[in-house]
Copies of this chain bind each other. A is one copy, B any other.
Amino acid sequence: MPSPLTLHPDRALPAEPALRSVARTIYGQTRDLPLVCMHGHVEASVFADNAAFPDPAALLITPDHYVTRMLVSQGIAPEDLGVPRTDGGPVEQDGRAIWRRLCENWHLFRGTPSRYWLEHELVEVFGVDERPSAETADSLYAAVAARIAEPDFRPQQLLDRFRIELLSTTDPATSPLAEHARLAEQGLGERVVPTFRPDALVHLDGPDWQRDAKALGQLADVDTSRYDGFLEALRARRRAFVAAGGLATDHGHLTADTTPLDRAEATRIYDRAWSGQVTEPEAASFAAHMLHVMAGMSRDDGLVMQLHPGVLRNHHGDVFAAHGADKGFDIPVAAEFTRGLRPLLEDYGTDPRFRLILFTVDETVYSRELAPLAGVYPSVRLGAPWWFLDSPDGMRRFRELATETAGFYNTSGFVDDTRAFASIPARHDLSRRIDAGYLARLVAEHRLSEDEAVETAVDLAYRIPKQAYAPRA
């Protein structure tokens, strides 16, 4: 009989007894701090509706590409995990069957953060104590299903239970922010805030670009068939996001190029896009230009700019055609920041009204580029380990590679990149444990005093993210 599923109080702390003891002390001072969640992917409607979550698979498996990709990697079809088809074709509807596929393949997740988070959720949030396996799949499913049917498991109730002080959703620039308006009516307008994500609008060769650009114009009541109107409409929407409590923008680009175009060239390319003739190089140079433009807008309206380049999206054409974006087939490429960001930083990098937070999935830039940039430019903060790197060893390497050049106070503190709402406490808790372990090593190696370590840990968990995303203008 397998041992029951439990969470050891010292999990993810260093194994060495002297380090663990110090780490436990440090972690004890951050464990119960409120959560600041500035980079999530939970829909605002989840909170505005405050409906019960659907079945366990729909809550924990199907929408979470961190989980589905691992099952796909061993030959399980996305359809068998309930992942919708773009053509509306049949996919598995039985949550219990999907859940069983996860439990039967639980060994695939050994050593991964997904397992760590899911175990945390199962024990702490759902109160179960069985290890997932073929044998336990059905009883686990029933237990979780019962739990999420309870009234105190509604999203707004979980906001309280999880001690979430502030949560940013991620919203396209063309969002009318209706859900956030509903949240404001419910008194949650300052607790659940939008993030302005203009990616679809600045990539002129996207399939739906013109549709989105027109939608932008309608929302802002500006003619976006001209470049000037496009910029004016963006400014207007940013003001709407600020009015709705928004604190940040979010930019996912293939590269960190920020080379500006002169107005004539930008207008020329924009016009070509409007007539459906833009080339890929033109679109790339316009996207780079728009990062520079958006930095200027951030300086003016105070929205903190988040940039995470370096991912080649939708690597497999057939999977993208069948299931759409965000299905685990986004693969990183080598990143370059030093040259790419130079034009933007020349103009805004020392401006106290501007704040840029940088994320990467290419660890090689931590010590080579990001820490040196964050370690000298007043406007730059180095974001937390993101996506694949938001993991125990990934976070540990981040501190080891970045701290000696950037210190702690040029980082953003912890920023989660959550897809599954119920994983938020697990992610923050893990981050606090890893930071405690890193700080404990500095203490044990006599490179930092314990009181400084505790203060730093509290800052990283709470104060620094609050400050990093505070309005600048």
Chain B's nearest CB lies how many Å from the CB of A448?
A: 6
Chain B's nearest CB lies how many Å from the CB of A269?
A: 24
Kindly state the separation between the CA atoms of A361 and B368 in the bound complex, as whole angstroms: 6
Q: Is A152 an interface residue, CB under 8 A from the partner?
A: no
Identify the stretch in A89-97, A172-180, A257-265, A346-354 within 8 Å (CB) of chain B at 4 or more residues: A346-354
Q: Is A362 an interface residue, CB under 8 A from the partner?
A: yes
A374-B73, A388-B371 given; A451·B339 CB < 8 A:
no
Q: Is A12 an interface residue, CB under 8 A from the partner?
A: yes
A319 touches B392 (CB 8 A): no
Chain B's nearest CB lies how many Å from the CB of A101?
A: 14
Chain B's nearest CB lies how many Å from the CB of A387?
A: 9
A404 touches B394 (CB 8 A): yes
Copies in the complex: 3
A376 touches B333 (CB 8 A): no
Contact with B along A80-123 (1 / 0, CB 8 A): 00000000000000000000000000011111110110000000
Q: Is A211 an interface residue, CB under 8 A from the partner?
A: no
Chain B's nearest CB lies how many Å from the CB of A204?
A: 22
Kindly state the separation between the CA atoms of A14 and B332 in the bound complex, as whole angstroms: 32
B346 touches A318 (CB 8 A): yes
Kindly state the separation between the CA atoms of A19 and B451 in the bound complex, as whole angstroms: 25
Kindly state the separation between the CA atoms of A362 and B372 in the bound complex, as whole angstroms: 12
Kindly state the separation between the CA atoms of A75 and B410 in the bound complex, as whole angstroms: 11
A15-B444, A448-B110 given; A378·B74 CB < 8 A:
yes
Chain B's nearest CB lies how many Å from the CB of A24?
A: 13
Residue from the list B371, B397, B409 in contact with A107, Cβ < 8 A = B409
Q: Is A217 an interface residue, CB under 8 A from the partner?
A: no
A315 touches B331 (CB 8 A): no
A73 touches B376 (CB 8 A): yes
Kindly state the separation between the CA atoms of A376 and B320 in the bound complex, as whole angstroms: 13
Q: Is A447 an interface residue, CB under 8 A from the partner?
A: yes
A15-B16, A378-B75 given; A392·B350 CB < 8 A:
no
Kindly state the separation between the CA atoms of A310 and B415 in the bound complex, as whole angstroms: 31
Kindly state the separation between the CA atoms of A397 and B368 in the bound complex, as whole angstroms: 14
Q: Is A160 an interface residue, CB under 8 A from the partner?
A: no
Q: Is A469 an interface residue, CB under 8 A from the partner?
A: no
Residue from the list B11, B329, B361, B447 in contact with A116, Cβ < 8 A = B447
The winner among A14, A329, A375 for most chain B CB atoms within 10 A is: A375
Closest B residue by C-beta to A10: B446
Contact with B along A392-430 (1 / 0, CB 8 A): 111001011101111111100000000000000000000
Residues in B whose Cβ lies below 8 Å from that of A406: 73
Kindly state the separation between the CA atoms of A13 and B2 in the bound complex, as whole angstroms: 27
A3 touches B367 (CB 8 A): no
Kindly state the separation between the CA atoms of A466 and B255 in the bound complex, as whole angstroms: 40
Q: Is A249 an interface residue, CB under 8 A from the partner?
A: no
Contact with B along A301-345 (1 / 0, CB 8 A): 000000000001001111100000000111111101011001001
The 21 sampled A-B contact pairs (Cβ below 8 Å) are: A7-B446, A11-B446, A16-B16, A69-B375, A73-B378, A73-B380, A108-B407, A110-B448, A110-B452, A111-B407, A111-B408, A112-B404, A112-B405, A113-B404, A328-B375, A328-B376, A362-B364, A363-B367, A363-B368, A367-B389, A388-B405
Given contacts A108-B409, A312-B339, A392-B447, 14 further A-B contacts (CB under 8 A): A8-B446, A11-B447, A15-B18, A15-B19, A15-B445, A73-B406, A75-B378, A107-B455, A316-B350, A333-B336, A361-B368, A367-B389, A391-B404, A392-B404
